[in-house]
């Protein structure tokens, strides 16, 4: 079994095979405005359901990117030194130093420790905005997690991305059991209609091609720049984890 706890935003605690893995740590309280570069900014509207001091030990952090406050905020950054490893982008690993391991898309690292399931972590491609935006928004990756005996396929964390050729590659190359999908349809006033993450409609279309056993939306609430509400109830095929609660799924 795999246990997933949605802390809030993009932050999920993944417990499987004896490992405690944390995605994109964001633990700041609400109220602050964060700059994202090139004239863009956003205010945090909701804090985490579980504080950094209550999250417990973390074996590894899966960090899609380090340079945006809605994916790594100061409280989340303060947690990194206590994690056994940080897996992130190549530029992010250079910035973070220490035990950060940088991966380009489709590169892998293995988590291996006595008494724990061996997990292969593979970086998957992301494009965090419209065509040509990478020099502005920076490098971002998602993650595919494989371990022995998976019944439905890999656990895939999309990272902040819009649909593009890289998500087509994910559909072609991966059999996905559980998908954690970064949504929110991020937009900023200064760039008008341009979007920087998937909308719910785009994610539904992606799931129709990907056919995961379970699709769980994250990164869709708690910030002013999230412009695409998930709705209640969420559209099929999404299974929403209430913020602060956990679900157990077949691994």
Q: What is the pLDDT of residues 125-159, one digit of tens each?
A: 999 999 999 988 999 999 999 999 998 999 999 99
Whole-angstrom distance, CA of residue 243 vs CA of residue 184: 15
Q: Render pLDDT for 185-220 as a digit per residue (tens, 0 to 9).
A: 999 999 999 999 999 999 999 999 999 999 999 999
Residue-range definition of the domain harbouring residue 88: 2-249
Q: Sorting pLDDT into bands at 50, 70 and 90, what band is 39?
A: confident
Q: What pLDDT does 246 receive? A: 95
CA distance 16 to 47: 26
- Return the pLDDT at 208: 97
Mean pLDDT along residues 66-77: 98
In the numeric block, the tokens 């691994």 are attached to 251
Digit-coded pLDDT (tens) for 213-250 = 999 999 999 999 999 988 787 888 899 999 999 999 98
**DSSP result, the chain:** -EEEEEEETTEEEEEETTEEEEES---PPTT-EEEEETTEEEEB----SS-GGGS---SEEE-S-SSSTTTS-HHHHHHGGGSSEEEEEHHHHHHH-TTEEEE-TT-EEEE--TTS--EEEEEEE---SSTT-HHHH---EEEEEEETT-SS-EEEE--S--SSHHHHHHHHH--EEEEEEE-S----GGGTT--SS--HHHHHHHHHHH--SEEEEES-SSBTT--S---SSPPTTB-PPPTT-EEEE--
Q: Say if pTM beats, i.e. exceeds, 0.95.
A: yes
Q: The tokens of 165 are what?
A: 């050729």
Q: What is the CATH number of the domain that holds 81?
A: 3.60.15.10
Number of structural domains the chain divides into:
1
- Hey, CA dihedral for 218, 238, 49, 6, is it positive or negative? negative
Kindly report, residue by residue over 110-128, the tens digit of the pLDDT.
999 999 999 999 999 999 9
Portion of the chain with pLDDT greater than 90, in percent: 91
Tens-digit pLDDT profile for residues 21-36: 999 999 999 999 999 9
Helix 200-210 vs helix 165-173: angle between axes, to the nearest 10 degrees?
A: 30
pLDDT at 221: 94
Q: What is the pLDDT of residue 180?
A: 98
pLDDT at 251 over 80: no
pLDDT tens, residue by residue, 161-171: 999 999 999 99
pLDDT of amino acid 152: 93
């Amino acid at each position: 079994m795999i246990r997933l706890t949605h802390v809030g935003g993009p932050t999920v605690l993944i417990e499987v095979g004896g490992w405690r893995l944390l995605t994109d740590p964001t633990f700041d309280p609400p109220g602050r405005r964060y700059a994202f570069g090139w004239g863009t900014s956003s205010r945090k509207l909701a804090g985490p359901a579980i504080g950094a001091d209550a999250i417990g030990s973390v074996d590894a952090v899966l960090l899609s990117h380090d340079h945006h406050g809605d994916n790594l905020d100061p409280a989340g950054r303060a947690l990194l030194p206590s994690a056994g490893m940080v897996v992130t982008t190549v530029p992010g690993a250079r910035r973070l130093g220490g035990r950060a391991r940088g991966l380009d898309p489709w590169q892998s690292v293995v988590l291996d420790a006595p008494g724990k399931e061996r997990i292969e972590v593979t970086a998957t491609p992301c494009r965090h905005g419209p065509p040509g935006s990478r020099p502005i928004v920076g490098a971002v990756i998602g993650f595919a997690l494989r371990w022995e005996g998976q019944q439905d396929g890999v656990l895939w964390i999309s990272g902040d991305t819009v649909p593009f050729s890289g998500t087509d590659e994910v559909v072609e190359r991966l059999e996905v059991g559980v998908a954690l999908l970064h949504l929110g349809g991020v937009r900023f006033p200064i760039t008008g209609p341009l979007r920087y993450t998937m909308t719910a409609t785009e994610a539904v279309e992606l799931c129709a091609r990907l056919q995961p056993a379970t699709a769980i939306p994250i990164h869709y609430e708690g910030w002013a720049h999230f412009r695409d509400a998930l709705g209640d109830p969420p559209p099929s095929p999404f299974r929403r984890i209430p913020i602060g609660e956990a679900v157990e799924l077949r691994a």
